[in-house]
Amino acid sequence: MKITVVGTGYVGLVSGTCLAEVGNDVVCLDVDPAKIKILEDGGIPIYEPGLQDMVRRNVAAGRLLDVLPDWELPIAEGECVQALTLPAHTAGANARALVRMVARRLGVRLAASPPQPAQGEAEHI
């Protein structure tokens, strides 16, 4: 399965890496240039025991692809997971704006693509 994960924090990077670990093709997207740079340089922007080895292994296997700031292309097909934090305090306004931005962009992409039956679903239609 092709999966796009939006956000490379604790939820997104761990989820994307685990999805790649079980054989999915995953693209991670983020708007934070500092996180993207760390990942491009082979590091990880968070601490999670064993995660860096899993990231490197899945990048080498071709299952965990680039971390990109521009997510118009990878979201063209496959599943999309939005993994953004949404803090409850006032600083959460920026996070909510990010969630809305991702939802709008995803909505535009979905509206432009005709619905496709899920794998194995076509023979039941």
Give pLDDT tens digits along the chain (125 positions).
Answer: 888 888 888 888 999 999 999 999 888 888 788 888 898 888 999 999 999 999 999 999 988 876 666 655 555 566 666 666 555 555 556 667 777 777 777 777 667 766 666 666 555 45
Q: At what angle do helices 51-60 and 10-21 cross, to 10 degrees?
A: 50
The alpha carbon torsion through 51, 57, 62, 64 (nearest 10 deg) reads 0
Ranges of beta strands (E only) in the chain are: 2-6, 25-29, 64-68, 79-82
Instruction: State the amino acid at position 114 in one-letter form.
Output: P
The CATH number covering residue 93 comes to: 3.40.50.720
Domain count, the chain: 1
Is 86 inside a domain boundary?
Answer: yes
- pLDDT digit string, tens, across residues 6-26: 888 888 899 999 999 999 988
Is 125 inside a domain boundary?
Answer: no
Q: What is the mean pLDDT of the chain?
A: 77
Is 72 inside a domain boundary?
Answer: yes
